[in-house]
């Protein structure tokens, strides 16, 4: 009987030793899995922080690459976590508790990695543009936005005439029309470009823009070298909306407010030479005075611009150029209509007067042209050095937050794995105690 009891006691000691080893193995596996994931996430976070620190000190060109780097870091973090999670799951399969913990950690880290990539992409979208409207940042053409009228060239439609040209057609709203060409990108590119921004909202026929110049009127004579006011009256224009012409030229669609086009007008004066009615069109690059009127005037369509210093003697034509907020000519709903702009011709006589500063060869005219060219040289957004640095800093901060979140989740997973292993060990010790008591 004594020998049987000794044999039974030895068996129980063997079971206890095996359980302890199993507990240690399970705890190591889970701790290694969670710890390795935390280390990888921390390494990725540290790597992202180092890159971000460089990006924060970068120039405008570096700012363009920061967002892309953030997106790549997010994607790499997700891929690394996925690989580590698979290995961790395999290693921890020795016990049921460790395997369950590893699987939960894998799911959590996968989600965190994907969120990191998505957040970087969202950050890139936010830095690239602050537009409004439904699906403004989507790169997918929505089905309810496809205009089937562009499927046809018009040659078989109502009102077709043999003298009319066939329209170019498209099945996708010409979304890739500018592909491979020099893009306008909100810049005043003097060598020509292609603008892929849609025309936008068009007013009703009853809300079409119409303009009349109230001073100087046709045939008016003005004294040379004296200040005078150009005044206009515009109907159906929500005036006073004037975006940065150096960085957002033609960069957004025409929009309406209260059914009327949101925008502004310009006035341009050209020297017509020896006659008020020449037969040769004037050079469009030459102007004696130019002004974009960026205020709302009297709030009733009355707008004005001061010609400081006046003009030298000559024959002149004054015209308005009515535009949407982003400077594109206003788009009207029907072909048969009155003009949205007006022109008058007047004469300047007497001595005095010099080239106006707002002429194409005046100091302000040349400065404006130089600023537009500088914006072209900088590129899309035409960000100043300080704005580019701020954009890089913001992108860096966003990436740091995402990396820190990933590292925090990995640490939580490691803790959860250790806790699960500890719980498994407690369960096995309880079972062993019950066996000892029965013995």
pLDDT of residue 83 exceeding 60, the answer is: no
pLDDT of residue 344 exceeding 50, the answer is: yes
pLDDT of residue 413 exceeding 50, the answer is: yes
Residues 80 and 217 in one domain: no
Residues 422 and 359 in one domain: no
Instruction: Say which range, 17-26, 254-263, 310-319, has the weakest mean pLDDT.
Output: 17-26
pLDDT of residue 417: 55
Q: What is the distance between the alpha carbons of residues 296 and 266, in angstroms, rounded to a whole number?
A: 12
State the residue for tokens 């400077």: 327
Number of domains, the chain:
2
pLDDT of residue 173 exceeding 70, the answer is: yes
Residues 215 and 351 in one domain: yes
CB distance 179 to 170 below 8 Å: no
State the pTM of this model: 0.63
Q: What is the distance between the alpha carbons of residues 53 and 406, in angstroms, rounded to a whole number?
A: 18
pLDDT of residue 239 exceeding 70, the answer is: yes
Residues 238 and 364 in one domain: yes
Angle between the N-to-C axes of helices 96-128 and 2-56, in degrees from 0 to 180, rounded to the nearest 10: 10
Q: Which of 325, 180, 348, 202 is nearest to 270 (CA)?
A: 348
Stretch 327-337: mean pLDDT: 98
Residues 103 and 213 in one domain: no
pLDDT of residue 215: 98
- pLDDT band at 352, cuts 50/70/90? confident
Residue percentage of the chain with pLDDT more than 70 = 61
Stretch 110-139: mean pLDDT: 49
Residues 316 and 430 in one domain: no
Cis peptide before 40 (omega within 30 of 0): no
Burial label for 344, CB within 10 Å (0-12, 13-18, 19+), is buried
Cα radius of gyration rounded to whole Å, the chain: 36
Structure tokens at 69: 């780097």
CB distance 94 to 25 below 8 Å: yes
pLDDT of residue 30: 32
Residue 398 vs residue 149, higher pLDDT: 149
Residue span of the structural domain in which 73 resides = 2-126+386-438
Residue 171 inside a domain? The answer is no
Antiparallel, parallel or unpaired: β 260-273 and 302-307: unpaired
Residue 134 inside a domain? The answer is no
State the residue for tokens 């005078």: 228
Residue 57 vs residue 372, higher pLDDT: 372
Structure tokens at 178: 């500018």
Residue after which a domain boundary falls, among 367, 383, 399: 383
Residue after which a domain boundary falls, among 350, 368, 383: 383
Residue 8 inside a domain? The answer is yes
Stretch 33-62: mean pLDDT: 38
Residue 330 inside a domain? The answer is yes
Residue 285 inside a domain? The answer is yes
Q: Which of 371, 260, 234, 373 is nearest to 325 (CA)?
A: 260
State the residue for tokens 């889970």: 30
Segment of 112-126, 305-319, 413-427 carrying the highest mean pLDDT: 305-319
pLDDT of residue 192 exceeding 60, the answer is: yes
Residues 41 and 24 in one domain: yes
Structure tokens at 1: 């009987």
Residue 154 inside a domain? The answer is no
291 DSSP β-pair partners: 267
Structure tokens at 430: 């309880």
Stretch 349-355: mean pLDDT: 92
3-state SS record for 386-403 = HHHHHHHHHHHHHHHHHH
Segment of 22-26, 88-92, 159-163 carrying the highest mean pLDDT: 159-163
CB distance 75 to 124 below 8 Å: no
Residue 112 inside a domain? The answer is yes
Residues 298 and 371 in one domain: yes
CB distance 288 to 311 below 8 Å: yes
Burial label for 173, CB within 10 Å (0-12, 13-18, 19+), is middle
Residue 131 inside a domain? The answer is no
Question: According to DSSP H, which parts of 58-187 are helical?
Answer: 60-91, 96-128
Stretch 372-385: mean pLDDT: 94
- pLDDT band at 387, cuts 50/70/90? confident
What lies within 8 Å, CB to CB, of 15 at 6+ separation is 432, 435
Residues 263 and 374 in one domain: yes
Chain CA centroid to CA 102, Å: 39
Residue 90 vs residue 240, higher pLDDT: 240
Residues 401 and 352 in one domain: no
pLDDT of residue 201 exceeding 50, the answer is: yes
Residues 329 and 424 in one domain: no
Secondary element (H or E) of residue 237: strand 237-239
Average confidence score pLDDT of the chain? 75
Residues 119 and 76 in one domain: yes
Q: What is the CATH number of the domain that holds 247?
A: 2.60.40.10
pLDDT of residue 405: 63
pLDDT of residue 137: 84
């Amino acid at each position: 009987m004594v020998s049987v009891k000794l044999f039974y006691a030895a068996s129980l000691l063997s079971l206890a030793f095996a359980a302890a080893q199993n507990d240690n193995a399970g705890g190591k596996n889970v701790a290694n899995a969670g710890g390795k994931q935390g280390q990888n996430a921390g390494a990725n976070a540290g790597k992202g922080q180092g890159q971000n620190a460089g990006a924060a000190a970068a120039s405008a060109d570096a700012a363009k690459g920061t967002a892309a780097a953030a997106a790549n870091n997010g994607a790499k973090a997700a891929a690394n976590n996925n690989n580590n999670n698979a290995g961790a799951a395999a290693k921890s399969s020795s016990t049921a508790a460790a395997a369950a913990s590893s699987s939960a950690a894998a799911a959590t880290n996968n989600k965190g990695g994907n969120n990191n990539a998505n957040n970087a992409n969202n950050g890139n979208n936010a830095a690239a543009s602050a537009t409004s409207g439904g699906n403004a940042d989507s790169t997918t053409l929505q089905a309810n936005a496809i205009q089937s009228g562009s499927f046809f060239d018009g040659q078989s439609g109502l009102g077709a005439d043999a003298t009319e040209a066939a329209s170019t057609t498209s099945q996708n709203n010409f979304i890739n029309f500018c592909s491979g060409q020099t893009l306008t990108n909100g810049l005043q590119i003097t060598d020509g470009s292609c603008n892929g921004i849609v025309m936008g909202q068009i007013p009703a026929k009853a809300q079409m823009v119409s303009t009349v110049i109230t001073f100087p009127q046709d045939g008016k004579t003005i004294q040379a070298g004296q200040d005078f006011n150009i005044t206009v009256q515009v109907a159906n224009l929500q005036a006073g909306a004037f975006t940065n012409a150096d960085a957002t030229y033609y960069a957004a669609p025409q929009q309406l407010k209260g059914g009327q086009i949101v925008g502004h007008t310009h006035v341009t004066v050209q020297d017509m030479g020896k006659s008020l009615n020449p037969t040769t069109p004037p050079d469009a690059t030459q102007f004696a005075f130019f002004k974009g009127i960026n205020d709302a005037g009297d709030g009733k369509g009355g707008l004005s611009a001061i010609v400081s210093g006046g003009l030298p003697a000559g024959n002149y034509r004054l015209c308005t150029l009515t535009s949407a907020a982003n400077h594109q000519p206003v788009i009207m709903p029907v072909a048969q209509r009155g003009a949205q702009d007006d022109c008058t011709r007047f004469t300047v006589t007497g001595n005095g007067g010099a080239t106006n500063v707002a002429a194409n060869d005046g100091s302000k005219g040349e400065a404006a042209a130089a600023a537009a060219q500088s914006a072209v040289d900088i590129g899309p957004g035409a960000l100043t050095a300080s704005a580019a640095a701020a954009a890089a800093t913001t992108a860096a901060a966003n990436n740091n937050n995402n990396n820190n979140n990933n590292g925090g989740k990995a640490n939580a997973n490691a803790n959860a794995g250790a806790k699960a292993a500890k719980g498994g060990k407690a369960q096995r010790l309880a079972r062993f105690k019950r066996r000892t008591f029965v013995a």
